Amino acid sequence: MLGPYVADYGKNGLRKAIIQAKDYAHKASGKFLFAIIKPADTSVYSDLVNTLDEMEINDVQSYAIANISVEDISLLKDRGIY
C-alpha cells in the first residue's frame, strides 16, 4: 500500500485514512500499523500536533517523523494536494 495522502484533519480526512491504513496493515500482514509522518515545508506546528493527536486517538503506537522528500512532494503535486 502506497499510503493515503489527505488534505484535512476532519473525520473524513486524516482520521479516516488512519483507520483504513490500520485495517489494511492488519488484514495484509496480521501486524499493526507503523506510520511515517512527513510534514511538508508548508506545514505549521499545529499540523504536526493535530497529526500526533490523531495517532493517539486512533491508538497508533508506532510512528516516526521524517523529512519529506522531493519524490513525496512530486507525488502530492500530482494528486493536487501540495
Low-confidence stretches of the chain (pLDDT beneath 50) = 1-2
pLDDT at 1: 46
Nearest Cα to Cα of residue 38 among 80, 76, 77, 79 = 76
pLDDT at 79: 83
- Note the pTM of the prediction, 2 decimals: 0.80
pLDDT at 4: 57
Q: Cα(27)–Cα(49) distance, rounded to whole angstroms?
A: 28
Helix (H) or strand (E) holding 65: strand 62-65
pLDDT at 29: 94
Count Cβ atoms below 10 Å from residue 49 Cβ, excluding itself: 10
